[in-house]
Amino acid sequence: MSRHGELDAIIVGAGAVGGALALALARDGFEVALVEAREPKPWRAEDDVDLRVVALARDARDLLDDLDVWTSIADARVGPYRHMRVWDALAPGELAFDAADRGEAALGWIVENKLVQHALWQALGGNTFGGSGGSRDASAGWLAKSIAAPAPPTKPRLLCPAEVAEIENGADAVVATLTDGTRLRAKLLIAAEGAESSLRTKLGIAFEGRDYRQRAVVAHVTTERSHENTAWQRFQPGGPLAFLPLADGRCSIVWSLPEAEAVRILALDDAAFRAELGCAFDFRLGAITASSRRAAFPLRLRLAEKYVVGRCILAGDAAHLVHPLAGQGMNLGFRDVRALRTILRDARERGCDIGAAHVLRRYERERRSENTLAARGFDMIERVFGSDAAPITVLRARALAMLDHVAPLKRFLAAAAAGR
Predicted local confidence at residue 134, as pLDDT: 32
pTM, two decimal places: 0.88
What are the C-alpha distances in Å from 87 to residues 298, 328, 400, 401? 24, 19, 8, 10
Give the C-alpha separation, 136 to 134, whole Å.
6
Give the C-alpha separation, 363 to 367, whole Å.
6
Predicted local confidence at residue 152, as pLDDT: 85
CA atoms within 13 A on the CB side of 101: 16
Which regions of 57-163 does DSSP assign to beta strands (E)?
A: 79-81, 83-88, 91-98, 108-112, 128-129, 157-159
CB 37 within 8 Å of CB 159 = no
Sequence letter at residue 148: A
CB 333 within 8 Å of CB 316 = yes
The domain that holds 385 is classified in CATH as 3.50.50.60
Please indicate, yes or no, if residue 217 is contained in any of the structural domains: no
Please indicate, yes or no, if residue 264 is contained in any of the structural domains: no
Q: Could you list the residue range(s) of the whole structural domain that residue 305 is in?
A: 1-79+108-211+300-420
Please indicate, yes or no, if residue 277 is contained in any of the structural domains: no
Please indicate, yes or no, if residue 233 is contained in any of the structural domains: no
- Tens-level pLDDT at each residue, the chain (420 residues): 444 458 999 999 999 999 999 999 999 999 999 999 999 889 999 999 999 999 999 999 999 999 999 999 999 999 999 999 988 877 777 788 899 887 889 999 999 999 999 999 999 984 333 333 333 343 333 223 333 345 788 899 999 999 999 999 999 999 999 999 999 999 999 999 999 999 999 999 999 988 989 999 999 999 999 999 999 999 888 889 999 999 999 999 999 999 999 999 999 999 999 999 999 999 999 999 999 999 999 999 999 999 999 999 999 999 999 987 656 789 999 999 999 999 999 999 999 999 999 999 999 999 999 999 888 887 777 665 555 554 555 555 555 555 554 444 445 455 544 445
Please indicate, yes or no, if residue 305 is contained in any of the structural domains: yes
Q: Does an H or E element contain 304, and which?
A: strand 295-304
Predicted local confidence at residue 386, as pLDDT: 57
Give the C-alpha separation, 236 to 247, whole Å.
27
Query: Which letter does DSSP use for residue 286 in this model?
Result: B
Please indicate, yes or no, if residue 401 is contained in any of the structural domains: yes
Name beta bridge partners: 413.
Answer: none
Predicted local confidence at residue 217, as pLDDT: 97
Structurally, the chain folds into a number of domains equal to: 1
Give the C-alpha separation, 20 to 120, whole Å.
7
Q: Does an H or E element contain 87, and which?
A: strand 83-88
Please indicate, yes or no, if residue 184 is contained in any of the structural domains: yes
Please indicate, yes or no, if residue 49 is contained in any of the structural domains: yes
